[in-house]
Amino acid sequence: MNSRIDFSRVVRVYRFLETIVFGRKLQGRRCAFLAEVAGASRVLVLGDGDGRFAVEYARLNRRSRLHMVDISPGMQRVAQKRFSREGFSLERIAWTIADARTVSIDGPYDLVVTHFFLDCFKGSELERLVTRIEHCMTADGRWLISEFQIPQRGIRRFLGRVLIGTMYKFFSLFAGLSTQRLPLYAPVLQANGLTREKQQTAAGGLLVSEIWRKGQ
């Protein structure tokens, strides 16, 4: 992620493109462990874009306090409209337009959510970001993650590499994304004291959902 990135430029076509390429698979990954984390009271949601996951979470836990952080004003406006249409008060949610690498994060949060977000960062950026977020989590806080990954072998591996490479080129051109490869986030989380509790994959190993916990 860099200073000129802005997904507002693709906000009008983002969901259409997601549906054309993946159908409902990405939303399925976002919500794979939704029921298991729905009891959190203070939730930090980084880069949820149009807010589809956050609205689903708010439906399950109407007492939770959400802090929505997104670098793109256009995406956050779409998310706010989605919450309003669903009848939720925007006052229960803290809305911040900022770069996650530098935004002020107070905490403590008992749940952090990053869906298809960590892949926007290069290795050194990711290391700094994870360290900052971990410091703002409760002692037993959990981190919900959905991401892309390259399948292990065969034609799926080849097709996965082509698809992900194409996606990076698209978002580099239209959203200013500078990253060009998937980061290895698991070792970074482990180095910061988090342990993977659960994992599910989909689309032949191209998509993964995970729950990580601090302090295990």
The pLDDT tens digits for 174-204 are 888 888 899 999 999 999 999 999 999 999 9
Kindly report which listed range (6-10, 29-33, 50-54, 144-148) carries the lowest average pLDDT score.
6-10
CA separation for the pair 72, 75 (Å, rounded): 5
Q: What is the pLDDT of residues 87-138, one digit of tens each?
A: 888 788 999 999 998 898 888 999 999 999 999 998 899 999 999 999 999 9
Q: What is the pLDDT of residue 148?
A: 97
Kindly report the pTM of this predicted structure. Answer: 0.93
Mean pLDDT over each residue of the chain, to the nearest integer: 92
Predicted confidence (pLDDT) at residue 3 exceeds the cutoff of 60: no
CA separation for the pair 202, 187 (Å, rounded): 21
Tokens of 60: 């399950």
Predicted confidence (pLDDT) at residue 4 exceeds the cutoff of 80: no
Q: Which residues of 82-121 are buried (b: 16+ CB within 10 A; e: fewer)?
A: ebeeeebeeeebeebbeebeeeebebebbbbbbbbbbbbb
Q: What is the pLDDT of residue 133?
A: 95
Q: 83: which residues sit within 8 A by CB, 6+ positions away?
A: 51, 54, 55, 58, 90, 93
Sorted by where each begins, the domain ranges of the chain are 7-214
CATH class, 7-214 region: alpha beta
CA-closest candidate to residue 88, choices 48, 47, 69, 60: 60
CA separation for the pair 65, 73 (Å, rounded): 21
79, 26, 103, 179: CA torsion to nearest 10: -130
What φ, ψ does residue 104 adopt, rounded to 5°?
-75, 120
List C-alpha distances in Å: 81 to 73, 141, 148: 12, 29, 27
Residues in the chain: 216
